[in-house]
Amino acid sequence: MKKPKLLIVDDDEDLRTQMKWALAEEYKVFLAEDRKSALAMFKKELPPVITLDLGLPPHPAGVEEGFLTLSEILAENGQVKVVIITGRGEKENALQAVAQGAYDFFYKPIQLDELKVVIKRAFYLSQLEQEQRKLQNRLSGDSFEGMLGTCPKMLEVFSTIKKVSATDAPVLITGESGTGKELVAHAIHSISSRKSKSFIPINCGAIPENLLEGELFGHEKGSFTGAHAQRKGRIEMAEGGTLFLDEIGELPLSLQVKLLRFLQEKVIERIGGREEIEVDTRVVSATNRDLEAAMKDGSFRNDLYFRLGVISISLPPLRERKGDVLLLAKAFLERYAEENRKNIKGFTSLAINAIEQYEWPGNVRELENRIKRAIIMAEGRKITPEDLEIASVHTRFEGFGLKEARETLEKELIIKALSRNSGNLTKAALELGISRPTLYDLMERSGIPKE
């Protein structure tokens, strides 16, 4: 088994040699005496852990070269763990280095046994992060047309998309606001035989009723005041490709009739026109409304519903996507940290807990927007619940009595542990850190069924 690589940066040759011999049994040790040699060695060997003395030549009495070395190393690789070696009278410099991204600091004179513990912990953390990145890359590699998800419900959605993309049948996508309905429509188009043609979206709820007909069907020159030229509508613009009708539940009844005719006969008439125009356009629609209720109250036509929903895809809300919330959160963090050039490497444990406890009423869109804002506003290297503006679990129980709050939280945690472990009591008890008999008792007390 290969020894992990360790780089020691210090201008004191005796100290470098002493540390090398003390650590050579466990690590493959590389040495550097100044900023130039440290950066050269780091780029060549890519060690995951570095010890760094801030006092380097040509100004060993100061700390400028040490801080420059730290910043240039972290610019090359923000994941590397840098342990600062400093004198006890320079604690402020050590704390400043940690604030700028160093992993930890250690006082001189060096106690090798203690230093070994610090270095071992740094390597352990580095290995954990590396394994996490590999897992995340693998999951990202398994992402489907820009959508990330590993829960059974999303895997079923991906499977359905693959099947419907091979046809020209109309598709109706349903789901709460923010679940990613337009992403699904894009995916259907991008892996279909129509992918080389246009994908044309239109939000039926965002355009005034008196303008929507022209947007969809187009108009002829002179058909109304201001119609100075002929104009194609979105249906024609999507010729050979895909038309995405978002918020289809908001389509006025008068236009529902015209859309139904197009779906049945594949022909349209522009406003003011007398000519029937054949159009080869696939229709994918989406809604967060209950269309069955809309049919009952007469605001949506039954025949149009069945034409649009030859195939239906239901997107689960984020709160039902077990295991996907943190996966998505980490993916958004990496994307927006890089986009905003922020040296943010993860979430605090409290932030992770808050993300998992929060219900996400705005779904994936809300998660993305909160993380994007948090990265812009965050001052530390890790995102906190305050950065996300998510109330902590304690805030939820304000006004509760202590007994009521404890019992409510206890029941929630048990239900979630059982759900994550598919009802396996032994695994759920292990996750909760209690015995199986204790879990039985708690379930009985909380009224949670054991089946």
Per residue in 221-253, pLDDT (tens digit) is 877 777 778 889 999 999 999 999 999 999 999
Query: What average pLDDT score do residues 176-201 get?
Result: 93
- Domain range for 113: 5-139
Mean pLDDT of 249-259: 93
CB atoms within 10 A of CB 196: 8
Q: Please give the angle made by the CA atoms of 3, 5 and 7, to the nearest 5 degrees.
A: 145
Here the CATH number for the domain that contains residue 204 is 3.40.50.300
pLDDT of 154 over the 70 cut: yes
Q: Give the tokens for residue 19.
A: 């540390």
The answer to whether residue 451 is domain-embedded is no
**Do 116 and 239 belong together in one domain?**
no
For 276-307, write each residue's pLDDT tens digit.
999 999 999 999 989 999 999 999 999 999 99
Q: What pLDDT is recorded for position 132? A: 61
Picking from 209, 165, 210, 216, the residue whose alpha carbon sits closest to that of residue 190 is 165
Banded model confidence at residue 443, pLDDT cuts 50, 70, 90 = confident
Angle in degrees, CA 30, 36, 41, rounded to 5: 30
How long is the chain?
451
The rounded mean pLDDT for the chain is: 87
Within a domain: 232? yes
In a domain, 306, yes or no: yes
Work out whether the CA dihedral 83, 111, 57, 55 comes out positive or negative: positive
For residues 178 and 292, membership in a common domain is answered with: yes
The per-residue pLDDT for 183 is 93
Contact criterion met (CB below 8 Å) for 219 and 271: yes
347 DSSP 8-state letter:
E
Task: Say whether both 379 and 410 belong to one domain.
Answer: no
Residue where a domain terminates, one of 377, 395, 413: 395
Residue 145 lies in a domain: no
Domain count along the chain? 4
**Are 297 and 198 contained in the same domain?**
yes
Flag the least confident range among 137-141, 216-220, 322-326: 137-141
pTM: 0.59
The alpha helices in 142-270, defined as continuous H runs, are 152-165, 181-190, 209-217, 234-237, 253-265
In terms of phi and psi (left: phi > 0; alpha: psi -120 to 50; beta: otherwise), the region of 441 is: alpha
- Quote the CA–CA distance of 161 and 186 in Å, as a whole number: 10
287 found inside a domain: yes
**Given 316, 333, 351, which residue is the final one in a domain?**
316
181 with 302, same domain: the answer is yes
For residue 171, the tally of other CB atoms under 10 A from its CB is 26
Q: Under DSSP, is residue 343 helix (H, G, I), strand (E, B) or coil?
A: coil
Whether residue 146 lies inside any domain: the answer is no
Report whether 59 contacts 65 (CB < 8 A): yes
- Judged against a pLDDT cut of 80, whether residue 403 lies above it is answered with no
Given a cut of 60, is residue 393 above it in pLDDT?
Answer: no
> CA angle, 14 as apex, 13 and 20 as ends, to 5°?
90
